[in-house]
Amino acid sequence: MLNEFFLLIRDLVCQWGLIMRDISLHLMDIMQNSIRAQATEINVMLIADREKDELTVEIRDNGIGMDESLLNQVRDPFVTTRTTRKVGLGIPMLEASAERAGGKLDIKSQKSKGTTVVATFKISHIDRLPLGNIAETIMNIIAANKEIDISLHLSNKQEEFNFSISEIKKYLDGVPIDNIDVLIWIKDYINDGVKTIFGGVLNEVPG
Ligand SMILES: Nc1ncnc2c1ncn2[C@@H]1O[C@H](COP(=O)(O)OP(=O)(O)O)[C@@H](O)[C@H]1O
Ligand SMILES: [Mg+2]
């Protein structure tokens, strides 16, 4: 009963675009889960398959993972291991956004191994959220978590773009990854990748 009530509110909120305006905000939220799970590696993949009309967003981490009972409950909005508030919304909100755009959410997790969250969206669906500012989201997460090896893979099934902190660090010659010039370079680099891979493929990214 309570749950049905929540689902109604969730859908209304999403419909009004009050919380999650774009995919980058979801990405921020799901990556924060990985950080809270003590991940040392977070791998983000965005794949646009024009033939299948499907956008896949995958976030994989090597954090503490979830046991089966938590994993089975995690789509339930009242499940959280946080102590600061009682309701966990990140995963249910992403599931709502995916389902509203003809897609779905999958989560795989293994205790002390890690977690993989995969959301799919029908690219042409009228309710599909736009990508938003992926470069800024990744840059902000890098700036606040310089010990985590973050990697990004973008693909349109014909071309791909790959970025990883561990790769970048080889060329930094001791300059810290959270140096402002390095962060701005990373943001511009990822932005170029997004334009190259998704320009003209996702209608919000000019071709
Ligand atoms: N990547 C992850 N690794 C381990 N546990 C996770 C991960 N993502 C989510 N969880 C678990 O699922 C719960 C619900 O997540 P979420 O829906 O984002 O709500 P919140 O982050 O507000 O708790 C988290 O509190 C955490 O226990
Ligand atoms: Mg969360």
Would 38 be classed as within a structural domain?
Answer: yes
| Alpha carbon of residue 146 to chain centroid | 18
By the 10 Å C-beta count (0-12 exposed, 13-18 middle, 19+ buried), 76 is classed as middle
In a domain, 132, yes or no: yes
Query: Do strands 160-164 and 149-155 pair parallel, antiparallel, or not at all (unpaired)?
Result: antiparallel
Looking at residue 92, its pLDDT comes to 87
The residue whose CB lies within 8 Å of the most ligand 1 atoms, and thus the one to mutate among 30, 33, 106, is 33
Give residue 42's identity as a one-letter amino acid code: I
Averaged confidence pLDDT in the chain: 91
162 pairs with which residues across the strands? 153
The answer to whether the CB of 95 is under 6 A from ligand 1 is no
33 pocket-lining for ligand 1 (C-beta < 6 Å): yes
Q: How confident is the model at residue 190 (pLDDT cuts 50, 70, 90)?
A: very high
| 82 touches ligand 1 (CB under 6 Å) | yes
> What is this structure's pTM?
0.91
CB 21 within 8 A of CB 132: yes
| pLDDT for residue 14 | 62
Q: Is residue 205 part of a domain?
A: no
Beta bridge partners of 42: 61, 150
Q: What domain range includes position 55?
A: 2-198
Tens of pLDDT, residue by residue over 30-64, are 999 999 999 999 999 999 999 999 999 999 999 99
How many Å apart are CA 121 and CA 56, to the nearest integer?
7
Q: What is the CATH number of the domain that holds 34?
A: 3.30.565.10
Ion ligand 2 residues within 5 Å by Cβ: 33, 90
Q: What is the pLDDT of residue 123?
A: 98
Rounded Cα distance between 40 and 122, Å, is 31
What is the number of domains present in the chain? Answer: 1
Sorted by sequence, the CB contacts under 8 Å of residue 67 that are 6+ apart come out as 111
The full DSSP string for 166-190 is HHHHHHHTT--TT-HHHHHHHHHHH
Are 66 and 49 within 8 A, CB to CB? no
Q: How confident is residue 90, by pLDDT bands cut at 50, 70 and 90?
A: confident
In this structure, is residue 142 part of a structural domain?
A: yes
Instruction: Tell me if 134 is assigned to some domain.
Output: yes
Residue 136 included in any domain: yes
The reply to whether 204 falls in a domain is no
Q: Is 109 a member of any domain?
A: yes
